[in-house]
Structure 1
Amino acid sequence: MTESGNPSQPANVNEYAGTHIQVLEDREAVRRRPGMYIGSTGERGLHHLVYEVVSYAVDEHLAGHADAIGVTITADGGIRVVDNGRGLPVEVEEPTGKSAVELELTELSFGSKNHTGYGVSGGLTGLGLCVVNALSSRLTVEVHRAGHRWTQQYEKGIPVTPLTRHEETSEHGTTIEFLPDADIFETSRFSFATLSERFQELAFLNGGLAVSLTDERPERPVRHHHADGLRAFVARLNPYPASLVHSPSIAFESENESKTILVQVAMQWNTWSPGELHSFANSTRTREGGAHEEGFRTALTHIVNEYARRQGQLSADDEDITAGAVHEGLTAIVSVKLAHPVFEGPTRTRLRNPEADAYVQEVVREHLTDWLDNHQNEATSIVRHVLLHAPTGRRRC
């Protein structure tokens, strides 16, 4: 037997409630101009729907309430995302008379995750579930929260059933299953390889989080879980041990006192590649770079030059080693997690926050200097490698 209801709110989820939701617009804005919200109606936009749903589960992990996400490409071509977080809020919100779940799924909003519910959050738009719902021919949400299982169904962003309370349960978490609207998207076929690569990135960037992907078209499961986080990411990008300039890789992280920005870095030089820097903000790839990349490059070039002079590998008369030489053969991951990320650029993948530049520089200067001082053999090898790629007048081996 089922019943609709308004549960009492458990004390341990007060920080994540429907009162945090700020209504902006409705689903029609999304359906009229989907490209404004997900970038395109092609394959890229199609996959972005999945990333928006998964970002909510990642936020639960960052808040300390989830450690596993399961994604399934269903036999009919839809997507099912399951997490073991606290579950979306289900209380009824006044004066709307709607449940918090329904508001989250039907009103364009910054959502609770951009207010006091979360310190940092993923996704590019901050609009999340409403956009996914509006662009899906059908969507079902199942929530385990407040001692019960709750469900609601939607079609093209419109609720077709009320939020319904089912049997009692001690479980917690959210399941969202949706089928993209074929009338909106140019393609409705999800790529297993594309999703798997993104979920592996998320597992690297969020140590301790397990992200699994199953394909029912046929079944082809894969599970990503990397306790070593960014070190494991660098190891994947540097697959040739004989080419490594130093081992192990360099890795460090730091969070500021106000807990509004966390910086994580892993890096390693090799002799086979021209170098590659991958940067992320709140687990989203910042392909156009931005403040965090600029801070990393500035600090790194300064520190390598400073160390080389202290160790006599550069004399007082030698010119500084260029940034290009310092980055030659360097594989690096720079990840920042911010309370209020600001993006720019046509694809919203360039980070603007000036505090990211400043704090990344501070963290890199402190931790990399300490690493070089405590790993002198490896540090000497790194400087030698860098000098080999400097202009002829600066080479001193």
Structure 2
Amino acid sequence: MNADAKNNYDATHITVLHGWEAIRKRPGMYVGSTGERGLHHSVFEVVGWAVNEVLAGRAKSVDVTLRPDGGVSVAEDGPGATVEPAGDNDGPSLEALLTRIHDWTRPIGRDVAAVNSAVLGPSVTNALSKCLTAEVRRDGTSRLQEYRRGVAVAPPAVLGPAAGNGTTITFWSDPDIFETVECSFAVLEDRLRELAFLNRSLDISLTDARPAGELRSRRFRFPDGARDFVAILDASAGEPVHPDVIGFEHEVPQMEGTVEVALRWSTSRDERIRGFVNSWPTPCGGTHVAGFREGASFAVNAYARARRLLTASEPDLSFDQISEGLTAVVSVKLDRPELEGATRRMLGNAAVRTHVAEAVSERLGRWLEEQPDQAAAVVGRMIRNARRI
């Protein structure tokens, strides 16, 4: 650009994009990529909205269906979105839900599951779909509205009487945006199962009705939460050292949230610790996982010292020695989570470390005291392994 061109550059040269135009122009900013990962992110924006309707108490279940025509349907049985532009106390209007990110997005608090790294909502999916339909069943009437690439074709139309309430969003991802529009059943299944483990009130199903192969259907509901999660993770890890899955859930006002922990030791030599913040996985760990490590180390060493299982000359067991064969899930739900980095893979809230450590130390220490036979098997194995080194 020459000097004259630079001097002539002003606000008239700037193009400001809004709504669906901005999302379609830069889809990677909203769903991460235009490959398979971005496609699934787009699906989870709608799933996340439906899941949070259940967590908010407005719905009881969510059903996700991969359709024979290539579409994806997500249905929830809440009161049904309002079709009036102004909306009402039951939630945003259908128009806001499907076209306006900032009108719909809620702050990530302890009662909101972060199904994706950012909670943007169905408006992103709508903009990146060649077609989307929303059927609303409310007050005995069913209404349908169709969108094309984020733009409404017409106002909601009355279909007829409805037997129940709820909202079903069906969309066909745009092949002009995505490199593939074929969803992976396995990817969706893994994440939906994970969400059900981390949210006990969630009842969610996944059905694959596509023509290739036989119809597959899964329903996920886990009343024991993280305990069920550990039992599944631990199933292929070798024989359990103790039969019980240790678990607890505890509210901690000082960190403005809750902590749920479940753990069990097996004869495996591997450590498997999974951390989550508001249902979002944190593979890089963070303060919640650091607090768990500190609390478990304190409880085990305090028990070993009190029972004189370690001699006075022996050092405390390191966490590496304690965690051999350990499977654990550490899930915190916070009103103000501080997730670090663009991919939000690590928790940074400083207060969480101390309070999770205290909760784990107290609850694990209590279990060791109350289950002497299982405690002896667990801690005795650690000490024997440590003395072989």
Query: TM-score interval w.r.t. the shorter chain?
Result: 0.7 to 0.9
| Counterpart secondary structure, 1:113 | coil
Partner of 1:3: none
Q: How does 1:21-36 map to 2 (within 5 A)?
A: 26-36=19-29
Q: How does 1:1-397 map to 2 (within 5 A)?
A: 26-93=19-86, 100-109=93-102, 111=104, 113-114=106-107, 119-123=111-115, 124-146=117-139, 148-165=141-158, 167=160, 169=162, 171-218=164-211, 219-239=215-235, 243-257=239-253, 260-390=256-386, 392=388
Q: Structure 2 CA distance, aligned partners of 1:110 and 1:361?
A: 38
Q: Structure 2 CA distance, aligned partners of 1:214 and 1:299?
A: 41
Q: Structure 1 CA distance, aligned partners of 2:146 and 2:48?
A: 21
Q: Structure 1 CA distance, aligned partners of 2:333 and 2:107?
A: 13
CA contact (8 A) 2:249 2:261 kept: yes
| Counterpart secondary structure, 1:50 | helix
Q: Structure 2 CA distance, aligned partners of 1:293 and 1:48?
A: 26
CA change 1:93–1:355 in 2 (3 A) is farther
| Counterpart secondary structure, 2:205 | strand
CA displacement at 1:258 relative to structure 2: 8.5
| Counterpart secondary structure, 1:369 | helix
CA change 1:89–1:336 in 2 (3 A) is farther
Matched positions, count: 365
Unpaired segments ≥5 residues, structure 2: 1-16
Partner of 1:6: none
Give the aligned residue type for 2:85: V
Give the aligned residue type for 1:120: V
CA RMSD of aligned residues (A): 2.6
Please give the per-residue CA displacement for 1:158-197, whole angstroms capped at 9, x wherever unaligned: 1112234554546232211111111111111111111112
Give the aligned residue type for 1:386: M
Q: Structure 1 CA distance, aligned partners of 2:342 and 2:308?
A: 46
CA change 1:246–1:224 in 2 (3 A) is same
Give the aligned residue type for 2:202: L
| Counterpart secondary structure, 1:214 | strand
Partner of 1:19: none
CA displacement at 1:277 relative to structure 2: 0.8
**Aligned-residue identity in percent:** 43
**4+ aligned runs moved over 4 Å, structure 1:** 165-170, 257-260
CA change 1:262–1:369 in 2 (3 A) is same
The structure having more radius of gyration, on CA atoms, is 2
Give the aligned residue type for 1:254: H
Unpaired segments ≥5 residues, structure 1: 1-23
CA displacement at 1:240 relative to structure 2: 5.3
CA displacement at 1:344 relative to structure 2: 2.0
Q: Which moved more, 1:322-331 or 1:136-145?
A: 136-145
Q: Structure 1 CA distance, aligned partners of 2:288 and 2:333?
A: 10
* TM-score, length of structure 2 as denominator length: 0.85
Q: Which moved more, 1:85-94 or 1:70-79?
A: 85-94
CA contact (8 A) 2:39 2:178 kept: yes
CA displacement at 1:273 relative to structure 2: 4.0
CA displacement at 1:75 relative to structure 2: 0.9
Q: Which moved more, 1:146-155 or 1:35-44?
A: 146-155
Q: Structure 2 CA distance, aligned partners of 1:125 and 1:170?
A: 34
Please give the per-residue CA displacement for 1:273-323, whole angstroms capped at 9, x wherever unaligned: 412111222222222222221221121112111111111112343212111
| Counterpart secondary structure, 1:151 | strand
| Counterpart secondary structure, 1:381 | helix
* TM-score, length of structure 1 as denominator length: 0.84
